[in-house]
Amino acid sequence: MSVNTDLYFKIFKIKKISEITKHELKRRYKILALKYHPDKKPYGNTEKFKIIHNAFEYIGNELKKYLKKEDEKFFNSDFHFYGDGSIYNIKLKKWMRLKNEKNEWIIENYKLK
């Protein structure tokens, strides 16, 4: 069985994998699954439901691969992480610490004590 990835992306109204989050993908899947699930509605369609489910699994796997690549770009060898939340940036030759302020993580410079 050949995978028609264009159809899968059209089902969830996505042009690129970078346009969607895990949460949004799950939300769209639930809406479509309720609409086409054969047990939920009398007009449910088994074949359409299978296609939607396969599309969800395929796009979910592609999203995982994309997010892993993005993480690898950020967490490259320019940083050294330590258990206390401190970071040493090799290029900038600075120590940094993650600080939570208003539920946002920011990087702030600091000196070792």
Per-residue pLDDT of the chain (113 residues; tens, 9 = 90+): 457 888 999 999 999 888 888 899 999 999 998 888 888 766 668 888 999 999 999 999 999 888 888 766 666 556 665 665 566 666 666 666 655 555 444 555 555 44
pLDDT of residue 113: 45
- What are the chain's domains? 5-74 (1.10.287.110), 79-109 (no CATH)
pLDDT of residue 93: 66
Rg of the Cα trace of the chain?
Answer: 21
pLDDT of residue 18: 85
* DSSP-derived 3-state class of residue 102: coil
pLDDT of residue 1: 41
pLDDT of residue 69: 80
What is the DSSP annotation of 5-48? HHHHHHHTT-SSGGG--HHHHHHHHHHHHHHH-TTT-TT--HHH
